[in-house]
Amino acid sequence: MRKRGGRKHLATEGATSAPKRETAGDQLTAAALKALAGRPRSEKQLRELLLTRTLAGADEIDECIGRLKELGFVDDRIFAFGYASSRLKAKAIGRSRLARELAARKVSSEAIEEAVEASYTDEPEGVLIDRAIEKRVRAHGRPSDPRSAKRMFDHLARLGFEYDLIVKKLRAMKVGPKE
């Protein structure tokens, strides 16, 4: 007997074994893997996502995340390092902003510290602030008065660079507050 579309109905094929049914744990793992396939996530992000999108309880989600950790799909340290390195390649930002962004992604403080330290050994903050200053100068020109120097200072502070480093770089450009 044929159904529409030319496919045979399973019951009429003479199959002797019943199809394998997915358990709730398998469905939860599939949902977690689907979420991770979309983009990398920290353990806490994945946990919150599964709590909101599935009907699974906290114990089931803990078990699922435990399995994914064993398989290497969930690791906050690897996530933090990957995020930090890609973020620094895309935009010159300082340590404090990178740490804030990782904290917003619910990464543990130990993983944040390790990722920030590892990221800034490859490319020091002094090089990154020079890159940010060059980009700002291309877009807005060199600061010529205290007001434009203040705007550049504020911009660099929003990017997460330290106060002392910003002042040092602006003084080297011979702009900024005179003391």
Domain interval for residue 62: 23-71
Q: Tell whether 113 and 142 lie within a shared domain.
A: no
pTM of the model: 0.77
**Domain count of the fold of the chain:** 3
Q: Is the residue at 8 inside a domain?
A: no
In a domain, 137, yes or no: yes
What average pLDDT does this structure show over 6-17? 51
Give the DSSP per-residue string, 5-57: GGPBPGGGTT--SPPPPPPHHHHHHHHHHHHHHHS---HHHHHHHHHHHS---
Task: Specify if 3 maps to a domain.
Answer: no
- Give pLDDT tens digits for 118-168: 999 888 999 999 999 999 999 999 998 889 999 999 999 999 999 999 999
Helices 146-158 and 125-140 pack at an angle, to 10 degrees, of: 130
Same domain, residue pair 50 and 84: no
Q: Can you say how many angstroms the Cα of residue 81 is from the centroid of all Cα atoms in its chain?
A: 9
Q: Is residue 18 in a domain?
A: no
